[in-house]
Structure 1
Amino acid sequence: MHILFGLLSGLVFGIGLVISGMSNPAKVLNFLDVAGTWDPSLAFVMGGASVTTFIGYRLILNRPAPALADVFQMPTAAQIDRPLLVGSALFGIGWGIGGFCPGPAWTALPMMAPGVLVFLPMMLLGLWLGSHLKRQSSGDAAPAAS
């Protein structure tokens, strides 16, 4: 049952990314180009997502437990540290250069656009390299959990 609901959630998320235009790197890059051909429409997409998330968290976290799990799995880290800042900067740079973030890149894969065919392998390489470097810096020999 968890797999089915995970699949349905991912499908709804992917359809939303395609409908909103976030799987089109030109639309994303035009949103980031405030001095040129600025397209503010993605601000409305992000604003709508933020409002929906804010309301959703307020409603759902009032429940004793999630519908399909025993407990809520919430992040516990509250500090802003170097890994968070570096990761955020790398994410933003990748988004600005490629016009993709991870979710929309996967939804653009069926279009087989040259940009996504370069972006996705490089993203996966970066994820692997990041986890490898994090393991090395912490002295942990075991693979990092995803």
Structure 2
Amino acid sequence: MRNFMSLSAGMVFGIGLIVSGMADPAKVLNFLDILGPWDPSLAFVMGGASVTAFIGYHLIWRRERPVMGSEFDLPDNAAIDAPLLTGAAIFGIGWGLGGFCPGPAWTSLLLGSSGILVFLPAMLVGIVLAGFVKTFPSIASKGA
């Protein structure tokens, strides 16, 4: 049942990306290009997502435990440190250069979007390398 719910949530997310046009990297890049053909529609998508998340979190925190689990899985680390800022910068640079972030990248693969055959393998290599660096504390601490 948990896998079905995860699949369903992913499908709703993917459909939302397609309907909102966020699976199109040109739309994202036009939002980021404030001096060119600026397209504010991504701001409306983010605003709608923020309102939806606010309402969802407000409702879910009234529960003692999640519907599909025994306890809420919350992060232990709340520090704004070098690894967090580095990861955010890498994410932002990749998003700005390619017009994709992970969710829309997978959706665009199914839509046959141009450029995805370069972006998606590069993203997967980055994920593997990040996992590799994280498993070796000596390498990870040199970057911090």
- For Structure 1 versus Structure 2, the TM-score category normalised by the shorter chain is over 0.9
Instruction: Count residues with an aligned counterpart.
Output: 139
Q: Which aligned runs of 4 or more in structure 1 are off by greater than 3 angstroms? A: none
**Alignment match, 1:144:** none
The alignment's TM-score, normalised by the length of structure 1, stands at 0.91
Q: Deviations over 1:84-141 (max 9, x none)?
A: 00000000000000000000000000222331110000000011111112222x159x
CA distance in 1, matches of 2:51, 2:129: 34
Percent identity reads 60
| Structure 2 SS opposite 1:130 | helix
| Structure 1 SS opposite 2:115 | helix
CA distance in 2, matches of 1:50, 1:113: 27
**Alignment match, 1:83:** 83
Structure 2 residue ranges without an equivalent (≥5) = 140-144
Name the aligned partner's letter for residue 40 of structure 2. Answer: P
The alignment's TM-score, normalised by the length of structure 2, stands at 0.92
Q: Deviations over 1:37-75 (max 9, x none)?
A: 100001000011011111111110110111111111111
Matched, 1:120 2:120: yes
RMSD (Å) for aligned C-alpha atoms: 1.2
Matched, 1:41 2:49: no
Name the aligned partner's letter for residue 126 of structure 1. Answer: G
CA distance in 1, matches of 2:63, 2:111: 40
**Alignment match, 2:142:** none
1:1-146 equivalent positions in 2, closer than 5 A: 1-136=1-136, 138-139=137-138
**Structure 2 contact 24–113 (Cα < 8 Å) conserved:** no
| Structure 2 SS opposite 1:91 | helix
